[in-house]
Amino acid sequence: MDITTIVGLVLGLGGVLAGYLEEGGQLGALFKVAPFLIVFIGGFGATLVAFPLSEVKKMLSTLSMLFIQKKYNEIDIINELADLSEKARKDGLLSLEQDAQTNKNDLIRKGLALVVDGIETEVIKDILARETELQEEIYESGAKMFEAMGGTWPAMGVCGTVMGMISILKDLSDSNALGPKISSAFIATMYGVAFANLVWLPFGTKIKAKAARETMINEIIIEGLLSIQAGENPRIIKEKLNLNLMEKLNGAKNKSVATAEEGAEA
C-alpha cells in the first residue's frame, strides 16, 4: 500500500477541518445536502459530459496506482537482467524459457518469451515499446480526468454559492438570518476548492509521477532484453543500464528544476 496517499489525505483534509474548528466553526454546519448535490453530483456530471465512457474506464483503472505501491527497484531489475544475461550466455537463450513463464515482472516475462521464440530484434522492440506506450496512455487519460475535475469542481462550488446568494437576496427581511444563510451558501465553494486542491489535482499529479517512473523502468527493461538477445557481456549490460538509469534520473531532475524556474519567472 502507498501510505503517502493515505497520510496525505488525512493530513490535508484533517488540517483544513482542524483549522476550521479552531476558528470556532461547527463540524455539523459543513454537511449540507444542497452544496453536496451541486458540487459532487454536478461535478461528476460535468466530467461525464467532457469524457467518453472509455476514458472514464481508464481513469477508474488508474485508481489502484494511488493506493498500491508497486514493489520494484531499478537497481534490482538491472541486476536481475544481468543475471539473466549470464544464464543465457552460459546455457543459451532457451535456458530462459522457465524465466519467461515465472518472472514476476509482466514486461520481462513477455520480452523473455519473445527472445526465447527467436523473434527478430526490431519486432521485439516494437512490441514491447507499444505495450509501454499503451499503458502510458491509460495513465495519462486517468491523470487528465482528475485534473479536469480539479478545474471543474471549484467552478461548481462558485455556482452553488451564487445560487445560494440568489435565494438569500430574494428575502432580506430577516436581518438576523442573513449571516447563517450567507455562511451556508459559501459551503459549496469550500467543497469545490477543497476537493479540487486536496484530492483531485494531487491524484492527477501522483499518477503522472508514478507513470513516469514505470515508463523509465520499462525502457531500461526493453534495452536489457535486447542486449540479452544480442548476447552482450553481462558486465557490460549492467554498466550500460546503470549509466542509462543515472542519465534518466538526472534528466528528470533537470526537467523539474527547469519547470520550477519557468514557474518562478512567470
Q: What is the mean pLDDT of the chain?
A: 87
pLDDT at residue number 252: 55
Query: How far is the CA of 257 from the CAs of 72, 208, 217, 251, in angstroms?
Result: 26, 17, 22, 10
* pLDDT of 95 over the 50 cut: yes
Considering all CA atoms of the chain, what is the largest pairwise distance in Å, rounded to the nearest integer?
A: 91
* pLDDT of 253 over the 70 cut: no
Work out the percent of the chain whose per-residue pLDDT is above 70. Answer: 94
Would the CA dihedral through 257, 212, 12, 193 be positive or negative?
A: positive
pTM for this prediction: 0.81
Of 42, 41, 44, 29, the closest CA to residue 185 belongs to 29
pLDDT at residue number 26: 83
Range 51-68 average pLDDT? 88
Confidence of residue 264 (pLDDT cuts 50, 70, 90): very low
Q: How far apart are CA 232 and CA 227, in angstroms?
A: 6
154-169 pLDDT, tens digit per residue, is 999 999 999 888 888 8
pLDDT at residue number 256: 47
How far the first Cα of the chain sits from its last, in Å, is 37
DSSP 163-185: HHHHHHHT--S-GGGHHHHHHHH
Would the CA dihedral through 194, 200, 202, 203 be positive or negative?
A: positive
Range 62-84 average pLDDT? 87
pLDDT at residue number 15: 92
- Lowest-confidence pick of 85-89, 170-174, 227-231, 253-257: 253-257
Range 84-109 average pLDDT? 91
Confidence of residue 39 (pLDDT cuts 50, 70, 90): very high
Confidence of residue 257 (pLDDT cuts 50, 70, 90): very low
